[in-house]
Amino acid sequence: MRGKGAKLLLALAAGFVMTPVALGVGLVLLIAMVADDDSSSNVGSPLGGLRIGKNGVPPQYAPLILQAAADCEGLPPAVLAAQLKQESGFDPTVTSPVGAQGIAQFMPGTWPTWAVDGNGDGRKDPYDPADAIPAQGAFMCSLLKQARKHPDYNGSPIELALAGYNAGFGRVDEYRGVPPRSFADGQTYYYVQNIMAMSAQFSAPAASEDGKLPAGYELPAGTPQQVRVAVAWALKQRGGWYHLGGDCTKALGHDPAHWCDCSSLMQQAYRAAGVNIPRVTYDQVAVGTRVDIDHPKPGDLVFNAGSDGSDARPGHVGMYIGNGLIVEAPRTGLKTRIVTYSSWRNSTNYMTRITEVRRVVNW
């Protein structure tokens, strides 16, 4: 159902649609905008199948998108990324003419239904990507579950979910699939088509199984081979559950004894590269060379106090992997994941603030 008093606008430019989005239930209006990249380069980092960098996802949003996708079975991170580009061009400050807010363009009336305090700062802010992207993921996940109940509808479950996000699932039910071009001047039809097409731009292969860097993942020229292997090995463990005391020899297996904790992930990553480092953070923090926290390089060990340490004896460690990202085995109940370096560097919480960066292999 169209929003009361809202005028649907359709602008086709370079094959993309820029429209308000009318959702039936809760009356959400979102503005979909697409910003073309100004480079033909395909440099990027495929973490979990997501391309990061030029012609891909801005690095600061990649961990949020990856986590939102990981929280919902069958929700591709590349689709979430394409949807964000369609909605706002990755601009978290945008407000549409009809009042839609932020990177995911939630209307004030619908935001409370899906609002998330993603960064734990006590606020649920549609202009904060740390809140809005998890909310977008939760909304899409709900729609995807609804779509799977209708295998006879016209369109794949993810296409039906996108159509529901754009027009409300009531319209999907009405047309028994993605609404046709005759509905709302093709608004929803082109919305779905554009996002599915753009998702290829944000897709990339996941980590390889042979110990090499993932296809498309680029490290700086001159990166030592030992660092390349350690980074690639650590990335391959993403998605494995954390287990305190786990030896990280089979992170994706079923035995918790072989899952990873933060320091065993670092130890085994460098062991795969032929470099022996100690088992625990209190000893790892003395390894190699101390470096400026504002100038990390891939492979550097990054420490914070964690929940069981201090500035002097840090209790948590991750590995800087380039592109402003860290791979870490965080804590019980969470999986090995990618987070932003800035989330540690600029943290106001002593437990997550960087206390030390150590370069295991000098280069």
**pLDDT tens profile 301-329:** 999 999 889 988 999 999 999 877 889 99
Which of 152, 170, 202 is the endpoint of a domain?
Answer: 202
| 102, two tokens | 């932020």
The H or E element that residue 22 is part of is strand 20-22
Are 234 and 269 in contact by the 8 Å Cβ rule? The answer is yes
pLDDT of residue 203: 78
| 144, two tokens | 């995807």
pLDDT of residue 11: 27
pLDDT < 50 regions, the chain: 1-46, 206-211
Are 157 and 148 in contact by the 8 Å Cβ rule? The answer is yes
Q: What whole-number distance in Å separates Cα of residue 264 and Cα of residue 256?
A: 13
195 and 232 together in one domain = no
98 and 179 together in one domain = yes
Are 77 and 65 in contact by the 8 Å Cβ rule? The answer is yes
Q: What whole-number distance in Å separates Cα of residue 287 and Cα of residue 360?
A: 6
pLDDT of residue 209: 41
| CATH number for 89 | 1.10.530.10
- 214 in a structural domain: no
- 246 in a structural domain: yes
Q: Rounded to two decimals, what is the model's pTM?
A: 0.54
- 7 in a structural domain: no
19 and 107 together in one domain = yes
Q: pLDDT for 111-139, tens place per residue?
A: 999 999 998 899 999 999 999 999 999 99
- 217 in a structural domain: no
pLDDT of residue 340: 76
Which of 169, 202, 235 is the endpoint of a domain?
Answer: 202
pLDDT of residue 217: 61
65 and 141 together in one domain = yes
- 326 in a structural domain: yes
50 and 172 together in one domain = yes
- 129 in a structural domain: yes
Q: Amino acid identity, residue 37?
A: D
73 and 183 together in one domain = yes
337 and 271 together in one domain = yes
Whole-number percent of the chain with pLDDT over 70 = 83
Q: What whole-number distance in Å separates Cα of residue 123 and Cα of residue 102?
A: 15
pLDDT of residue 80: 95
229 and 193 together in one domain = no
pLDDT of residue 25: 24
Write the CB contacts of 78 (distance below 8 Å, at least 6 apart in sequence): 49, 50, 51, 199, 200, 201, 202, 203
Which of 187, 202, 217 is the endpoint of a domain?
Answer: 202
168 and 251 together in one domain = no
Task: Please state the φ and ψ torsions of residue 12, each to the nearest 5 degrees.
Answer: -100, 120
56 and 193 together in one domain = yes
Which residue segment(s) compose the domain that 81 sits in?
12-36+44-202
- 210 in a structural domain: no
195 and 109 together in one domain = yes
119 and 257 together in one domain = no
pLDDT of residue 202: 84
Q: Amino acid identity, residue 110?
A: T
